[in-house]
Amino acid sequence: MTILLDDDERPNITIPQITTCHDQLGCNLPKEYKEFLMNHNGAFPEPSSFRIKNDDLLHSIDIMLYLDSNLFEPRADAFYQTISFTLEKEKDYIPAGSFVIAIVDRDDLLLLFYEGKRKGEIWLKIETYESPMKGENGYKREQGLCKVASSFTGFIEKLIPNEEDLDDD
């Protein structure tokens, strides 16, 4: 069972704010992710690791990002653990129709697609690529993508203990 460890300093998210998020994105968030935001608004999940099909690596979530008063508006001056800050910081890397929901393995991005053929799916963006040059029109946005789960709930269900944590017992 996954436990989502909350931080009391994050703001609670309300239904009107979720409606504003829908307006900012131009579509509805998946129901399961809306519920997560309203109940937790970010978290440190435990267990926090997952595997990707056909990949032997164990990936670990550093933090599931939260919404601040900027919601889905990209802002460089927002707190670094927010979706708003990450949307601005990673704007040259994030594929269209997605946003970052978590930081994984220190510099990889866990994405939720909110529109298009991947709508509702969770993907990992491996950040091993150089920043796009001006004029490339997002050419590197699709590189380094690995599907993790078909839904947010499916992703939460895939979380497993880190093997190092098991060694401590």
Long-range own/partner contacts, residues 83-86 (CB < 8 A, 24 or more apart): none
Residues 6+ apart with CB under 8 A from 139: 132
With a cut of 60, say whether residue 168 has pLDDT above it.
no
Q: Which amino acid is at 104?
A: V
Residue-wise pLDDT for 103-118, tens only, equals 999 889 999 999 999 9
Taking the C-alpha atoms of residue 79 and residue 113, their distance in angstroms, rounded to an integer, is 23
Q: What is the pLDDT of residue 10?
A: 78
Per-residue pLDDT band for 5 (boundaries 50, 70, 90) equals low
Residues 6+ apart with CB under 8 A from 42: 6, 7, 10, 63, 64, 65, 66, 67, 81
Residue-wise pLDDT for 32-82, tens only, equals 999 999 888 888 888 999 998 877 889 999 999 999 989 889 999 998 999
Burial class of residue 135, CB neighbours in 10 A (0-12, 13-18, 19+): exposed
Domain spanning 3-167: CATH superfamily: SMI1/KNR4-like (3.40.1580.10)
Burial 27-65, CB ≥16 within 10 A → b, else e: eebbeebbebbeebbbbebbbbbbebeeeeeebbbbbbb
Domain range list for the chain = 3-167
Which single residue is written with the structure tokens 């510099």? 107
Per-residue pLDDT band for 28 (boundaries 50, 70, 90) equals confident
* pTM of the complete model: 0.85
